[in-house]
C-alpha cells in the first residue's frame, strides 16, 4: 500500500519540532542537556542524578511547559556554560526566567535561575527539582543537612514511602560509589524529598516549597523568584574517559524464574465509539480476559454506557470488570444489581472505593460479593492507595490505576518510569501478602472525567481532548505498553486493564477517525500498533512469563513467554537509532526466527492487522549460544524460538486473514 504517514508520525503519533541537546562535561561528570533539562548525570557508567530542571506548576498541579529562547551553549572538553531564557504561558500564567548553569573541571556544577512574574496568578510550585534514580538509590545511605545546620544520617526508602522521607533539606550528601560521593546545596527556598514511585515515576524528587505550606499561593505581577543548586563531587579528581553507550544491548532470559501472565483486558469505549462488525472480530481475535466498564448507580448516562459495555462483552465472549462509584442511594445499586442478574450480565470483578469497607456499607458489600469478588482501592494513582491502606486486606484484593506522566510528559520520562511499576508491585506485596492486585486502568495520560470535543466530527481539524496522547497510536506507545506488561507480569499483577477498545484512547481507530493536522490520518477501522502487542502476547496467554533483564532498558526492553512448544520473546526499541541486540535465552533454544513491525510496514499492519502475523519470519543466527538481531528505530520484534529445529509451519502460519 502507498504510505500516508511520515516516520515521525509513526514513531510518536505526531510531527515533532527539533529539540536542542548537547552532551556536556564537568570534569568526570557527563550530562545530557536536552530542551532545558539536565539529564543522566553520570560518573563513568554510574548514574548519580536522573535530572535537574525548573518547573512551574499551576493551582491544579498541572505542569506548564516552558519555551526556550536565546540559548547559548559553550562546551569544552571538561567544562561548560549554558545560558537561556524561558517563558511559561498558559491561561492567566506568564512567568519568565533566565538560567545560567556552569560546570567546572573539578566536578562542580552550579544551576541558577532568576525569574519574574509578568502576570498575577496562583501557583503550587515554581522552582528547581532534582530527580534521584530509584534504581540507584533505593535503600542507599545519605546525609541531610537541615536549615538549622543539624545533619541527619539516613537512607532512601526501599519500599514506596507514602509520605516525604526527607523534610527541611538545605543540603544532601550521597554515596553512589565507594570511590566518591557528592553534595547538593539548595538556596532560595525550603526543599524536601518525596518518593515519586507513588505515581510510578522511577525516582525520588527533591523540590522546593514544602507541601505542608498552604497552596495554591498567589504570585503577584512583578514578583521575583531566585533559586540555585550547587553540586560538588568529592574524591574523584582524575577525569575518566567518557565512554559512549555499548554498541550492543544484551537481553537476558532467566528460565528458572517464572510467573504467570495476569488477566489482561481493555476498558470499554464510550457510547460515541460504535464498534463495527469488523472491529468486534478484531477485538475478539485478541482473546481478551475481560472488558472493563465504569458504573455510577442511578446516573442514566453511566448506566447506559455500562449496558452498552455489557453488550460488547457478550459479543467478545468475556466478562465485565466493573469500576463502581459509591453513591448514597443504596436503592440505585439494588436496581442495577437486579438488572445485571435478570439480563445474565457476566461480572468477574468489582472495583470498589475505600468507602465500601465502612460499617454502614456492609449490606451493599455483601450484595456485590454475591455477584463477584470485590477489590478495594482507588481509581487514582498508587499514592492514594499507599496513603489510605484498607483497614483489613480485602478477599478480592486491592486496585489502583497508573499512568507514566503525572509529572512530565516527554518520551524519555515515559520510558524511564517503566521500572517504577515493578517497585510499586514489590512494595504493595510487602503489606498485602498474596491477595490479588488489580491495576485498572493503565493509560498514557492522567484521566479526566469526560473527554472534551467530539471524536466523530465528519471533517475538519478538531482540538484534541486533554486526556488523549498522540503516542497512543504510535510505535513508541506500543513499545511502552510492552515494557509495562513486562514489569507488571514479572512482579505478580493478577489483572491489568489497559486503555480503551476504540477511539483516540483505544487499540482501534473509530469508524470515522478524527482528522488531526500532522497526526493520525483518517483511516477508519484501522488498528494501532499497540493492538499487535496484545495480540502477540495473548496468543500465548497460557504461557509462563520468564524473568528478563536488559543491559540498557532505556534503549531496549521486552518480555519472554514460555510454553511447551517453545519460547516467545517480544522486544521494543525505544530510540531513534538502530540497535543491535544480543539475545541470551539461557540455553532454551537452538533455533529462532524474528519478525519486526517498524516504519517500513507499520501502516500496512495498522490497515491490515493480519499482515504482521504474515510478515516473513527471518531466521536468527546463533553464535556462542547467543542470537543476534538488529532493531530498526522504534521497532517491535517478535522472536519465536524452539529447542529443536524450527517447525515446518513457522510463526507465519499463526495468523490467517486478508493480505
- Select from 231, 215, 214, 124 the least CA-distant residue to 173: 231
CATH number where 353 lies: 3.20.20
Q: Do 81 and 205 reside in the same domain of the chain?
A: yes
* Within a domain: 477: no
The pLDDT assigned to 517 comes to: 47
pLDDT tier, 457 (very low <50, low <70, confident <90, very high otherwise): very low
Looking at the structure, do residues 391 and 430 belong to the same domain, yes or no?
yes
Same-domain pairing of 299 and 381: yes
Q: Provide the grid cell at 495.
A: 489483572
The answer for 503, left when phi > 0, alpha when psi is -120 to 50, beta otherwise, is: left
Q: Grid cell 538549622 — which residue?
A: 148
For residues 286 and 199, membership in a common domain is answered with: no
CATH number at 601 reads 2.60.40.1180
**Domain annotation covers residue 3:** no
Q: What is the rounded average pLDDT for all residues in the chain?
A: 90
Q: Please, which residues bridge with residue 37 across strands? A: 34
H or E, element range at 8: helix 7-12
Residue 560 maps to a domain: yes
Which percentage of the chain shows pLDDT scores above 70? 90
**Same domain assignment for residues 59 and 152:** yes
Look at phi and psi of residue 104 and say left if phi exceeds 0, alpha if psi is from -120 to 50, else beta.
beta
Same domain, 89 and 150: yes
Could you read off the pLDDT of 71-80 as tens digits, one per residue?
999 999 999 9
Cell of 419: 521500572
Q: Lowest-confidence range among 178-187, 199-208, 610-619?
A: 610-619
Nearest CA to 275 among 324, 314, 303? 314
Q: State residue 518's pLDDT score.
A: 44
Q: What is the 3-state secondary structure (H, E, C) of 508-576?
A: ECCCCCCECCCCCCCCCCCECHHHHHHHHHHCCCCCEEEEEEECCCCCEEEEEEEECCEEEEEEEECCC
Same domain, 199 and 53: yes
Q: Could you tell me the CATH number of the domain that includes residue 165? A: 2.70.98.10
pLDDT of residue 611: 78
Question: Distance of CA 93 to CAs 87, 120, 440, 519, 641, Å?
Answer: 10, 7, 34, 28, 56
Between 136 and 275, name the one with better pLDDT: 136
Do the Cβ atoms of 533 and 482 come closer than 8 Å?
A: yes
Residues 440 and 321: their CA atoms lie apart, in Å, by: 9
Do 374 and 461 sit in the same domain of this protein?
yes
pLDDT of residue 509: 87
Q: List the strands of the sheet with 151-155, edge to edge.
A: 66-75, 80-90, 93-103, 108-117, 224-234, 180-187, 171-177, 141-145, 151-155
pLDDT tier at 162, thresholds 50, 70, 90: very high
Q: Which regions of 200-316 does DSSP assign to beta strands (E)?
A: 203-208, 217-219, 224-234, 248-260, 263-267, 290-295
pTM score, whole prediction: 0.92
Burial label for 32, CB within 10 Å (0-12, 13-18, 19+), is middle
| pLDDT score for 245 | 67
DSSP one-letter string for 402-470: E-S-SS--SHHHHHHTHHHHHHHHHHHHHHHTTS-EEEEEE-SS---SS--S-TT-SSSB-PPPTT--G
* Domains of the chain: total: 3
For residue 460, what pLDDT band results from cuts at 50, 70 and 90?
very low
Is the residue at 240 inside a domain?
A: no
pLDDT at position 462 is 57
Give the pLDDT band of residue 483 (cuts 50, 70, 90). Answer: very high
Strand-pair partners of 218: 122
The pLDDT tens digits of the residues spanning 591-601 come to 999 999 999 99
**Taking 70 as the threshold, does the pLDDT of residue 449 lie above it?**
no
* Length of the chain, in residues: 659
Cβ contact 620:646 at 8 Å: no
Look at residue 442 and tell me if it is in a domain. yes
Q: Which of 168-172, 265-269, 288-292, 613-617 has the lowest mean pLDDT?
A: 613-617
Which grid coordinates are listed for 648? 515446518
Q: How far is the C-alpha of 174 from the C-alpha of 166, rounded, in Å?
A: 13
pLDDT higher than 90, residue 442:
yes
Angle in degrees, 0-180, between the axes of helices 418-432 and 475-490, rounded to the nearest 10: 20
Name the phi and psi angles at 157, rounded to 5. -70, 150
Does some domain include residue 534?
A: no
Which residues lie below 8 Å from residue 122, measured CB to CB, with a gap of 6+?
58, 59, 216, 217, 218, 219
Model pLDDT for residues 566-599, shown as the tens digit of each residue:
999 999 999 999 999 999 999 999 999 999 999 9
Whether 79 and 191 share a structural domain: yes
The pLDDT of residue 655 is 37
Residue 240, pLDDT score: 56
Kindly state whether residues 169 and 20 are assigned to the same domain. yes
Task: Tell me, yes or no, whether 113 lies in a domain.
Answer: yes
Nearest Cα residue to 295 out of 259, 267, 273, 317: 267
Q: Which domain holds residue 148?
A: 9-234
Query: C-alpha angle with apex 534: 531 to 540, nearest 5 degrees?
Result: 140
User: Do 368 and 278 reside in the same domain of the chain?
Assistant: yes
pLDDT tier, 221 (very low <50, low <70, confident <90, very high otherwise): very high
Q: For residue 422, is it within any domain?
A: yes
The three-state secondary structure class of 305 is: helix
Helix axes 300-316, 330-342, angle to 10 degrees: 30
- Name every residue whose Cβ is closer than 8 Å to that of residue 17 and which is 6 or more positions away in sequence: none
Whole-angstrom distance, CA of residue 307 vs CA of residue 592: 45
Tell me the residue ranges of DSSP E strands in 76-169: 80-90, 93-103, 108-117, 121-133, 141-145, 151-155, 166-169
Order of strands across the sheet that contains 544-550: 618-619, 591-597, 636-642, 566-573, 556-563, 544-550, 248-260, 579-584, 626-631, 622-623
Task: Report the distance separating Cα 339 and Cα 358, nearest Å.
Answer: 25
Q: How many CB atoms lie within 10 A of CB 272?
A: 13
Of the ranges 141-155, 484-498, 602-616, which one carries the lowest mean pLDDT score? Answer: 602-616
> Do both 308 and 385 map to the same domain?
yes
pLDDT, tens digit (0-9, with 9 covering 90-100), for 315-364: 999 999 999 998 888 899 999 999 999 999 999 999 999 888 888 888 99
Q: What is the pLDDT of residue 632?
A: 97
Backbone torsions φ then ψ of 83, nearest 5 degrees:
-130, 145
Q: What is the pLDDT of residues 231-269, one digit of tens each?
A: 999 986 544 555 566 789 999 999 999 999 999 999 998
**pLDDT per residue over 484-534, tens digit each?**
999 999 999 999 999 999 988 999 987 655 555 445 554 777 899 999 999
SS3 category, 242: coil
- Name which of 138, 172, 177, 171 is nearest 155 in CA terms: 138
C-alpha span between 549 and 379 (Å, rounded): 30
As given in the structure block, the three cell numbers for residue 509 are 481507530
- pLDDT confidence band for 15 (50 / 70 / 90): confident
Distance CA 171, CA 176 (A): 16
State in Å, rounded, how far the first CA of the chain is from the last one: 11
DSSP-derived 3-state class of residue 389:
coil
* Residue environment code for 85-102, b if the CB has 16+ CB neighbours within 10 A, otherwise e: ebbbbeeebbbbbebebb
Amino acid at each position: 500500500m502507498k504510505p500516508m504517514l511520515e516516520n515521525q508520525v509513526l514513531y510518536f503519533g505526531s510531527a515533532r519540532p527539533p529539540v536542542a541537546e548537547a552532551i556536556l562535561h564537568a570534569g568526570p561528570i557527563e550530562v545530557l542537556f536536552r530542551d532545558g533539562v539536565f539529564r543522566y548525570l553520570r560518573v563513568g557508567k554510574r548514574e548519580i542524578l536522573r535530572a535537574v530542571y525548573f518547573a512551574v506548576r499551576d493551582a491544579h498541579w498541572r505542569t506548564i511547559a516552558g519555551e526556550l529562547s536565546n540559548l547559548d551553549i559553550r562546551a569544552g572538553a571538561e567544562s561548560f556554560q549554558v545560558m537561556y531564557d524561558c517563558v511559561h504561558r498558559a491561561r492567566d500564567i506568564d512567568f519568565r526566567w533566565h538560567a545560567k548553569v556552569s560546570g567546572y573541571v573539578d566536578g562542580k556544577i552550579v544551576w541558577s535561575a532568576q525569574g519574574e512574574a509578568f502576570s498575577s496568578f496562583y501557583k503550587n510550585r515554581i522552582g528547581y527539582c532534582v530527580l534521584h534514580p530509584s534504581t540507584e538509590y533505593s535503600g542507599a545511605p545519605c546525609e541531610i543537612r537541615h536549615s538549622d545546620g543539624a545533619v541527619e544520617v539516613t537512607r532512601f526508602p526501599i519500599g514506596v514511602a507514602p509520605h516525604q522521607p526527607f523534610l527541611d533539606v538545605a543540603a544532601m550528601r550521597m554515596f553512589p560509589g565507594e570511590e566518591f560521593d557528592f553534595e547538593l546545596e539548595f538556596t532560595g527556598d525550603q526543599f524536601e524529598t518525596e518518593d515519586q514511585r507513588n505515581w510510578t515515576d522511577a525516582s525520588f524528587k527533591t523540590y522546593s516549597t514544602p507541601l505542608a505550606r498552604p497552596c495554591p499561593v498567589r504570585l503577584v505581577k512583578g514578583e521575583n523568584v531566585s533559586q540555585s543548586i550547587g553540586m560538588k563531587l568529592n574524591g574523584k579528581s582524575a577525569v575518566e574517559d567518557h565512554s559512549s553507550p555499548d554498541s550492543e544491548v544484551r537481553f537476558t532470559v532467566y528460565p528458572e524464574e517464572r510467573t504467570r501472565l495476569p488477566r489482561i483486558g481493555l476498558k470499554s469505549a464510550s457510547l460515541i465509539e460504535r464498534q463495527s462488525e469488523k472491529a468486534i472480530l478484531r477485538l475478539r481475535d485478541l482473546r481478551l480476559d475481560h472488558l472493563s466498564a465504569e458504573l455510577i448507580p442511578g446516573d442514566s448516562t453511566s448506566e447506559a454506557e455500562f449496558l452498552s459495555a455489557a453488550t460488547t462483552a457478550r459479543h467478545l465472549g468475556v466478562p465485565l470488570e466493573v469500576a463502581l462509584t459509591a453513591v448514597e442511594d443504596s436503592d440505585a445499586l439494588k436496581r442495577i444489581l437486579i438488572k445485571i442478574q435478570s439480563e445474565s450480565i457476566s461480572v468477574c470483578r468489582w472495583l470498589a472505593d475505600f468507602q465500601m469497607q465502612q460499617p454502614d456499607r456492609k449490606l451493599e458489600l455483601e450484595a456485590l460479593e454475591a455477584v463477584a469478588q470485590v477489590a478495594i482501592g482507588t481509581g487514582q494513582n498508587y499514592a492514594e492507595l499507599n496513603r489510605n491502606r484498607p483497614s483489613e486486606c480485602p478477599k478480592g484484593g486491592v486496585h489502583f490505576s497508573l499512568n507514566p506522566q503525572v509529572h512530565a510528559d516527554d518520551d524519555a520520562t515515559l520510558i524511564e518510569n517503566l521500572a517504577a511499576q515493578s517497585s510499586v508491585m514489590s512494595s504493595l506485596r510487602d503489606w498485602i501478602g498474596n491477595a490479588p492486585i488489580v491495576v485498572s486502568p493503565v493509560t498514557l495520560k492522567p484521566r479526566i472525567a469526560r473527554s472534551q470535543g467530539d471524536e466523530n466530527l465528519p471533517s475538519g481539524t478538531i482540538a484534541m481532548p486533554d486526556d488523549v496522547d498522540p503516542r497512543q497510536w504510535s510505535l513508541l506507545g506500543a513499545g511502552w505498553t510492552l515494557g509495562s506488561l513486562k514489569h507488571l507480569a514479572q512482579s505478580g499483577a493478577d489483572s491489568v486493564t489497559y486503555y480503551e477498545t476504540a477511539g483516540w484512547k483505544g487499540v482501534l481507530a473509530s469508524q470515522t477517525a478524527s482528522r488531526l493536522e500532522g497526526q493520525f490520518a483518517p483511516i477508519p477501522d484501522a488498528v494501532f500498533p499497540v493492538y499487535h502487542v496484545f495480540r502477540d502476547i495473548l496468543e500465548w496467554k497460557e504461557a509462563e512469563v520468564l524473568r528478563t533483564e536488559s543491559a540498557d532498558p532505556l534503549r531496549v526492553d521486552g518480555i519472554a513467554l514460555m510454553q511447551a512448544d517453545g519460547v516467545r520473546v517480544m522486544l521494543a526499541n525505544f530510540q531513534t537509532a538502530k540497535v543491535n541486540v544480543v539475545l541470551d535465552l539461557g540455553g532454551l533454544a537452538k533455533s529462532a526466527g524474528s519478525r519486526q513491525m517498524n516504519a517500513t510496514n507499520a501502516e500496512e499492519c495498522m490497515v491490515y492487522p493480519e499482515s504482521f502475523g504474515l510478515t516473513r519470519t527471518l531466521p536468527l543466527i546463533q553464535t556462542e549460544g547467543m542470537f543476534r538481531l538488529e532493531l530498526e528505530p522504534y521497532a517491535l520484534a517478535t522472536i519465536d524460538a524452539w529447542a529443536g529445529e524450527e517447525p515446518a509451519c513457522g510463526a507465519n502460519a499463526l495468523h490467517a486473514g486478508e493480505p
